[in-house]
Structure 1
Amino acid sequence: MDPYGAHVSARNVTVDIARTLAIVLMVIFHFIYDLKYFDYLSWDIPNGPGWREFRYLILTLFFICVGIGLVYAHVRAIRWQKFWRREAKVFVGALLVTTMSLLLFPNNWIYFGVLHFILVASLLALPLMRMPRIALLAGLIMLLGHGLDWWPSYWPFHYAHNAWPNVMPINSNDWVPLIPWLGVVWIGIFIAHSRWLTSDPLSYVGIPRWCVWPGKHSLVIYLIHQPILVGSIYWIGSL
């Protein structure tokens, strides 16, 4: 019996709510960051105590959902046309982010941020999509290895940093290393195969539809929220 029979073609409310939560936290994080950028606040964001962990929580929610989304979309068979269409959208989004960062932050431009990571991680996660236990083990090993410094956290970009130190900034904005975050995507694959998630527990709670909507349109919201925030803060400040 296919445990995904009702869930491959339908939305999973629990996953959409997790994405919505990640989006709300992300908007809060970037709003505080933008206030600091315009000198309205002096808080140590993004690397100060508490703020770093806050960002890690946001990334964890997003990347677990990436693993889950891959399983729910392609667990029976990889639908390559749909997969590459999604990858193309993420690629265009990542290109826009890089271009804007080069204009706004030339010394800390974004060359491997959230969207760049999702683009690559989605490819690297495909082989483990139908092997949840191996995906869990691989994810835990990657997290453990990162904690024990078994491999450089800037891999493979540390080669580029050494070759072109004036081109590839060490302190890149929105930096998301493959290690250990790919491990979180793999753990998301394991969670997608769990009976708890396939039962979609939050679908029985009666959550309002507007709470689910952001989770269905996370890529669009990710791309437009910062221009809206920055433009609004700049406009209000100019008044």
Structure 2
Amino acid sequence: MRNTTVDLMRTLAIVLMVVFHFIYDLRTFGYHQWDIPDGPGWKHFRYVILTLFFLCVGIGLVYAHSKVIHWQKFWKRELQVIVGALLVTAMSLVMFPANWIYFGVLHFIVVASVLALPLLRYPTIALASALVVIAGYNMGWLKSYWPFHFIHQIWPDVLPSYANDWVPLIPWVAVVWLGVWLAQQPWFIRDPLKQIQLPDWAQWPGRHSLIVYLVHQPLLVGGLHVWRWLVQ
């Protein structure tokens, strides 16, 4: 049985992501000069999207593997996300060679999923670990550039100084662990949004989020290229 609340969370994250990237692409094509993604408001808009996505990562891992880890299923999904991450990196090298993506959303999900496995049966420990990471980050004890600062120190010119879609492991791994905790709370298990009846097409993006994530930017950029050609 599917959880409507999780499907709606994923769908909302996907919709917001497409809106965010469309506005970003409009800036790339010169249609506005808003400071996206790092300006006031836009940065926090992105944080909302990432929070929804990463909560769902933790929740999904619990639903799939909390009783027993199905290793074949887990690694099959990991492989799919790894391939997607490599495609994103390859496309970014072509489109944004100075700011290519070396650790974006999909790269993060690959690593964070592995780190969440030991906590799937221990929601209280997952919550405590998340709070420790969040507190440590905000107090300056844990740094967001770990572990990539080692690469910068050894090979300073290998990675870009500013990368598109950068998702630091710290503190965002804490959100995945919060998802592990959330998935096992009685009120969430009861599926609080199950009364919302949406057509299947409205829930489809949340159920196929990886596909949407991979194809939406090529479609948006391609569409803007076609539009520019038509209006010239």
Taking the TM superposition and a 5 Å limit, the aligned residue runs for 1:119-198 are 119-198=110-189
Task: Tell me the secondary structure at the aligned position of residue 193 of structure 1.
Answer: coil
C-alpha contact 1:68 1:188 (8 A) present in aligned 2: yes
Retained in 2: the 8 A contact 1:98–1:109? yes
Q: Secondary structure at the match of 2:193?
A: helix
- SS of 2:97 mapped into structure 1: coil
Query: Between the two proteins, what is the percent identity of the paired residues?
Result: 63
Q: Deviations over 1:215-235 (max 9, x none)?
A: 100000000000000000111
Q: 2:67 maps to what in 1?
A: 76
Distance in structure 1 (CA, Å) of the matches to 2:15 and 2:174: 24
The equivalent of 1:115 in structure 2 is 106
Corresponding position of 1:4: none
Determine which of 10, 34, 50 is the counterpart of 1:19.
10
- Scaled by the length of structure 2, the TM-score of the pair is 0.97
Cα-to-partner distance string for 1:154-175 (whole Å, 9 max, x where unaligned): 0000111122222211211100
Give the AA of the match of 2:146: W
Rounded to whole Å, the distance in 2 between the matches of 1:206 and 1:33 is 32
Return the offset for 1:210.
2.2
Match of 1:92 among 83, 91, 106: 83
Deviations 1:16-51 (A, max 9, x none): 100000000000000000000111110000000000
Query: 1:212, 1:146 → 2: CA distance?
Result: 35
Alpha-carbon distance between aligned partners in 2 of 1:150 and 1:57, rounded to the nearest angstrom:
24
Q: CA deviation at 1:208?
A: 2.5
Q: Give 4+ residue runs of structure 1 displaced > 6 Å after superposition.
A: none
Structure 2's unaligned 5+ residue stretches are none
Aligned length: 230
Per-residue CA deviation, residues 81-133 of structure 1 (Å, 9 max, x unaligned), is: 11000000000000000111111111111110000000000000000001001
The one-letter code of the counterpart of 2:184 is H
1:208 to 191, 195, 199: 199
Aligned-pair CA distance for 1:140: 1.1
Q: Which moved more, 1:145-154 or 1:13-22?
A: 145-154
SS of 1:196's partner is helix
Give the structure-1-normalised TM-score. Answer: 0.94
How many angstroms apart in 2 are the aligned matches of 1:212 and 1:32?
23
CA distance in 2, matches of 1:163, 1:38: 36
Q: Which residue is equivalent to 1:3?
A: none
- Verify the 8 A CA contact 1:161 1:169 in the aligned structure 2: no
1:213-224 equivalent positions in 2, closer than 5 A:
213-224=204-215
- Cα RMSD after superposing both structures: 0.8
Paired position in structure 1 for 2:37: 46
Give, in whole Å, the separation in 2 of the partners of 1:107 and 1:217: 31
Name stretches of at least 5 consecutive residues in structure 1 with no aligned partner: 1-9
In structure 1, how many angstroms separate the alpha carbons of the residues matched to 2:73 and 2:133? 29
Residue 202 of structure 1 aligns to a residue in which SS?
coil
The 8 Å contact of residues 30 and 226 in structure 1, kept in 2 or not, is answered as yes
Residue matched to 2:27: 36
1:15 CA drift (Å) = 0.2
